[in-house]
């Protein structure tokens, strides 16, 4: 397909790397972790976002191999930061393929286990959690037993399937930016507030994604979210810029 061809062309010309976006704990007023985001750096120094190459690779069956590459890259970055006296928790996006493939899952979990004390987290799309519910439940259980917190990513997009919340054990619900954009209208604001409250009553920690402005920050804080991520706090940072970048936010 055309998309697969573009993805291969990009991979031929660029280098995969990770960027890291800080997450702010509103109560503590501290950066409590980072989300690892895949990028492709081109020779001219510009970066391509994953939307242009990741879906084609996942469709071609490379999702689990890519996740394994990401976990190794993140743990390398964590080692370098640790040597420089910087420690943090990092959340890794996992593709649906990884939850389904035993070999890939075991290897990724083993790699994560080596970094238990630093605190790794997993982010999974709702759509990855609704297929093979028994298998997914077992795999999420193994992640959480290993101390890996599970985040439901992009909540509120696609067709939200609420069975995730009684079938699967998760720790954090990340409310998608589209819900926040809809909150510019009164009904959208009420929906955001109620979804946030319901998730908290069910015992989940709630993170507001894509918070771009102080006004949005004040709104989500008033809704009671625990964690905030978005340009208002920080853009995703290059790995080398993370220790100083996070220190500057403190």
| Residue ranges in contact with ligand G by CB under 6 A | 21, 36-38, 49-51, 54, 67, 70, 93, 95, 123, 153-154, 177, 209-212, 230-231, 236
Euclidean distance between CA atoms 4 and 54, whole angstroms: 9
- Of residues 172 through 231, those in contact with Na ion by CB under 5 A are 209
**Shortest distance (Å) from residue 249 CB to ligand G:** 14
Among 77, 121, 126, 154, binds Na ion (CB under 5 A): 154
Residue 50: both structure tokens together: 């994953």
The residues, ordered by sequence, that sit 6+ positions from 38 with a Cβ below 8 Å of its Cβ are: 16, 18, 50, 54, 66, 70, 93
β pairing state of 149-155 and 120-125: parallel
Among 75, 88, 93, 128, binds Mn ion (CB under 5 A): 93
**Shortest distance (Å) from residue 175 CB to Na ion:** 9
Residue 19: both structure tokens together: 């960027």
Q: Does 153 bind Mn ion (CB under 5 A)?
A: yes
70 binds, among Mn ion, ligand G, Na ion, none (CB under 5 to 8 A by kind): ligand G
Euclidean distance between CA atoms 139 and 163, whole angstroms: 16
Euclidean distance between CA atoms 15 and 43, whole angstroms: 8
Residue 189 has phi, psi (to 5 degrees) of -65, -40
Euclidean distance between CA atoms 102 and 118, whole angstroms: 25
Size of the site for Mn ion (CB under 5 A): 3
**Using CB under 5 A, which of the segments 2-10, 49-57, 91-99, 137-145 binds Mn ion?**
91-99
**Using CB under 5 A, which of the segments 42-50, 55-63, 86-94, 239-247 binds Mn ion?**
86-94
**Shortest distance (Å) from residue 229 CB to Na ion:** 9
């Amino acid at each position: 397909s055309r998309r697969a061809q573009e993805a291969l062309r990009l991979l031929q010309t660029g280098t995969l790397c990770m960027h890291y976006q800080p997450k702010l704990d509103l109560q503590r007023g501290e950066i409590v972790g980072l989300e690892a985001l895949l990028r492709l750096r081109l020779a001219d120094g510009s970066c391509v976002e994953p939307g242009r190459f990741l879906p084609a690779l996942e469709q071609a069956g490379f999702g689990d191999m890519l996740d394994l590459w990401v976990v190794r890259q993140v743990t390398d970055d964590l080692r370098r930061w640790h040597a420089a006296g910087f420690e943090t928790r990092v959340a890794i996006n996992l593709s649906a393929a990884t939850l389904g493939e035993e070999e890939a899952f075991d290897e990724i979990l083993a790699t994560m286990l080596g970094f238990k004390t630093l605190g790794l987290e997993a982010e999974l799309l709702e759509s990855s959690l609704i297929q093979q519910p028994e298998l997914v439940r077992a795999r999420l259980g193994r992640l959480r037993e290993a101390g890996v917190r599970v985040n439901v990513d992009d909540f509120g997009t696609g067709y939200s399937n609420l069975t995730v919340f009684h079938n699967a054990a998760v720790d954090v619900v990340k409310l998608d930016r589209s819900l926040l954009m809809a909150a510019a209208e009164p009904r959208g604001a009420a929906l955001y507030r109620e979804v946030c409250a319901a998730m908290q009553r069910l015992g989940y920690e709630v993170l507001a994604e894509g918070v771009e402005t102080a006004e949005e920050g004040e709104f989500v804080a008033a809704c009671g979210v625990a964690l905030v991520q978005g340009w208002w706090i920080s853009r995703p940072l290059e790995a080398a810029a993370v220790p100083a970048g996070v220190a500057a936010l403190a």
